Amino acid sequence: MVKPAGGFTSLGVTRVDSAEDLETTVRSVWEVCERYLGYGGSSASVRGLVVEEYLDGDEYCIESLSYQGQVKIHTIGYKGRPEGPYFEEKVYRAPAPLSPEVEWSIIEQITGAHAALGVTDGPTHSELRLRGDEAYLLEMGARVGASGASHHIVESVTGADFTGDTFRIAMGQEPLGWNDPVWHRGTGAMYFVPVGGSGRITKIAGLSEAAADPRVDRIVQLLHPGDRILPYPEYSGYPGFVFSRHDSYEDAEQFHDALDESVVIHYE
C-alpha cells in the first residue's frame, strides 16, 4: 500500500501488486499529493508517503471519546472489504455484528493506541482491519470522523450527543452520562454514493426516491449534473451521502444493497 502521510478520504491510497510497479505508483501518488495536499509547497502540514503491507480483511471504524485519560468506545462499525487498487468508501453500518473475541481484540487495539499516541481528551475516529480474530490498526484521527458523520452513527446507535460531548470536553466539562454504560438501541448507517465511472455528470438517479424512505434522516449531495469526475487516482470528491437509521443491522444491509441497484450516476 502507498498512501499520503497526511491525507483524507482515501485520497491517493493505492495498492501495489509487484515490486516493479512500486516506483511508478509512488510517483503517481506524489503527483496527486502535490495537486490536492500542497506537497512541494508551503501549505502542507505533513509531507511524505507511507508504504506498508496490504491487509486483506474486513474494515471497521471505531468512534470513541476520551476524558481525563479514560477511553469510552461508543460504536464499532463495518466499512466493507475494499480491495483496491483505489479505495473508494462505500458503506458504514454500526454496530457491527462481532464475536466477543473479535470485539475484545478491537478494544485492545483502540485503547492501546490512545495510550501510545497520548490522546487523553476528546474524540477519536479509528480505522482497522481484521485478519481472522486479530485487529490491526490502520489509523487514528483525534477528531469527529467522516466530516461529522460519526455523530450520526453514534447518536443513532446509542443516543449519545457525540459532537456535543466533544465540545464539553474541550471546555473542561465531563461528557453527559460519562460513567453510564454504552447501550445499543438501534443501527446507524451511512451510504457513500459510488462514483461508478468518470466524466461530466448528466444525472444522478435514485436519490429523490431514497429521500422518501422513512428510514432516511437526510441526504447530503455534494456533486450535481454538470460537475466533472476525474478517473482515479485523481480526486473529485464523493457525490453524496445517505444517512439512515434502522431497527436492525440486517435491515441496514438490505437497504444498502437496494441503493446499490437504484442509485446510479450517468455520464456524458
CATH code at position 228? 3.90.1170
Number of domains observed in the structure of the chain: 3
| Residue 201 domain boundaries | 189-267
> Could you tell me if 35 and 64 lie in one domain?
no
C-alpha cell at 18: 509487484
In a domain, 218, yes or no: yes
Lowest mean pLDDT among 146-155, 189-198, 238-247: 146-155
Cβ 191 vs Cβ 259: under 8 Å: yes
> Could you tell me if 129 and 233 lie in one domain?
no
Query: Residue 14: beta bridge partners?
Result: 2, 86
pLDDT digit string, tens, across residues 97-112: 999 999 999 999 999 9
In a domain, 92, yes or no: yes
C-alpha cell at 20: 516493479
In a domain, 149, yes or no: no
In a domain, 150, yes or no: no
Phi and psi at 114, nearest 5°, equal: -60, -45
Phi-psi region of 151 (alpha: psi -120 to 50; beta: other; left: phi over 0): alpha
pTM for this model (two decimals): 0.92
Which amino acid would we find at residue 267? Answer: Y
pLDDT digit string, tens, across residues 149-162: 999 999 999 999 99
pLDDT higher than 80, residue 44: no
> Could you tell me if 203 and 104 lie in one domain?
no
In a domain, 163, yes or no: yes
In a domain, 245, yes or no: yes
In a domain, 84, yes or no: yes
> Could you tell me if 84 and 45 lie in one domain?
no
